[in-house]
Chains A and B, each alone.
Chain A
């Protein structure tokens, strides 16, 4: 291979300005998961909590079969329908957390980037304080102290996403705060509030929104990690909890790997889709920041 390829390489990989087939495939998968999460109880799924004991097959767990596609766990509960129901808490928490993070962190970031001064100093310091904890440690600390339900777990993960989202929003706002069209709006007497909403926000919101999918992937993984360690929503089925159940005892994992592996597959495909779709959107809108 000649040395030419060293420099000629980058021209070959100019990213096409199309979202592409992969993007839509990923969006379809996430959409399908969201549909299942919302309508799980209306779909013809087996009950996720019923015990399907089968005297002909001896003691559960039963391996995957025609009647139980993903097999059953050691209480003879259907792993397929549990994996489907697991999408509920995982996706709800992921979605709610990133929404809260964008609303609060985005607002704080835009305000501190626009007004600068002491507001900026205080909120930036707050962001750094939140980022001084390794995120899983802070999440464990907070969830261990509260009554863990759908709302509180989402709030904790939302709190964790405030700082990264806020810093990005602040950086994006700083780019626009002194541009000509903002000065022009101020010259003709627009209020700060109007400038933020009409001039700044449209410019900041589009690149930020392309990061929402990546952020949701992070939140879904974080919820999975919390559930795996036993710090997520107490009642209910989550992917992380299912994986924990299937891998807690080495014997279970060895003899009945399907209990852990099918939820892993669901979680993996969902996170992969969110990441891939988010990454495509990011290149599509040409957003440089990747610190989320």
Chain B
């Protein structure tokens, strides 16, 4: 129990540190007033501008000190009020933008993760069973090639081959399409993110499986006359999954990074592409909200992975 409390406390501390860092970076390195008003912010001789500056300062609490602003923002943020977008009318509210676009990113990341896990486990088992043979060498070389391929390059290649040359998949994502065609539209983006990750998982699980297969209980299972498939899938797989599960959890960060790229290339209005657009539009509240949501999600997932780990291996809880 004490272990869980400690882990949760650490996660909350981490979230606070992350939020301070993000808020501080955007407020100190960036100029929030300029982001709201544009060039008017620097025009301090014109009485109209001065009036606008004073108004904006009041509306966005910019006349307060940085720590005060941080606490105002934080208490709003945890209650789900992410402020308004800076651009023009301040509509829609940031929370609206996020709640509209976050599900797309989550489903994309989830699809990619599913693909990577589903592909990598049998791939690793087959490779480990034939370790050192020619088919294993070929699969290792393939994995190396995939890992060395940056996801933006994979995105460009997939788009070129399947959308443009073969015409099998649509080029863009249409938000109003029925669920089935939207899932189909997420296929290439999910492959973009999932392919290199699958190769990473495969390499890890393969080497863990090879270590497991050298142990005595496998020899016992073999002398009992169990089938090779049963030994591989039932006896060897489970004890080899420890570091696999950790890496699957930790890799969520890489998947989120991948989804920024995939959403940009395949024009999916998720939070990854919104982050990039908002930065170019200097839309500070949207950037802040998205970075915070993504980082919080990442911290929570890591926490869950730690907890899942204790279920598999209770020694960790000590």
Contacts and interface: CB of A to CB of B under 8 A. Distances in A.
Interface of B is mostly: helix
Contacts of A9: 128-133, 210, 213
B201 to A, nearest CB: 12
A6 B25 contact: no
Interface string A205-237: 000000000000100010011001111000000
Nearest to B257: A136
B222 interface: yes
Looking at chain A's contact residues, is the secondary structure mostly helix, strand, loop, or mixed?
A: helix
A129 B302 CA distance: 12
A145 interface: yes
B249 interface: no
B104 interface: no
Nearest to B258: A136
Contacts of A247: 156, 159-160, 265
A11 B295 CA distance: 44
Contact of A13 (B21, B26, B131, B152): B131
Interface in B264-288: 264-265, 275-276, 279-280, 287
B153 to A, nearest CB: 5
Nearest to B232: A6
A162 B29 CA distance: 21
Nearest to A217: B148
B293 to A, nearest CB: 10
Given A136-B260, A146-B29, A225-B257, A6 B210 contact: no
Nearest to B18: A132
Interface stretch (A32-40, A61-69, A102-110, A271-279): A271-279
Given A9-B131, A9-B213, A276-B144, A137 B257 contact: yes
A10 B210 contact: yes
B113 to A, nearest CB: 14
Contact of A134 (B144, B163, B253): B253
A188 interface: no
A247 B264 CA distance: 11
B56 interface: no
A129 B275 contact: no
A135 interface: yes
Interface residues of A, number: 54
B236 to A, nearest CB: 8
Interface string A1-45: 111111101101100000000000000000000000000000000
B291 interface: yes
A145 to B, nearest CB: 4
A150 interface: no
A255 to B, nearest CB: 9
B211 to A, nearest CB: 8
B160 A137 contact: no
A234 B164 CA distance: 30
B22 A271 contact: no
B186 to A, nearest CB: 18
Nearest to A133: B295
B219 interface: yes
A131 B190 CA distance: 24
B295 A229 contact: no
B254 to A, nearest CB: 7
B299 A6 contact: no
B262 to A, nearest CB: 11
A269 B47 CA distance: 59
Contacts of A250: 159, 163-164, 171
B148 A272 contact: yes
B157 interface: yes
A185 interface: no
Q: Which 4 A-B pairs have the closest CB atoms?
A: A136-B257, A12-B132, A134-B253, A13-B132
28 contacts: A5-B129, A6-B222, A6-B232, A7-B214, A7-B222, A9-B131, A12-B132, A13-B132, A125-B13, A132-B302, A133-B253, A134-B254, A136-B256, A136-B261, A141-B22, A141-B26, A141-B279, A144-B279, A145-B26, A225-B151, A228-B152, A229-B261, A243-B156, A250-B159, A250-B164, A260-B160, A267-B153, A271-B148
Given A9-B128, A137-B256, 19 more contacts: A3-B222, A6-B218, A6-B222, A10-B131, A125-B13, A132-B14, A132-B17, A133-B298, A134-B254, A134-B298, A135-B254, A145-B25, A246-B156, A247-B156, A253-B156, A253-B164, A254-B165, A267-B153, A275-B148
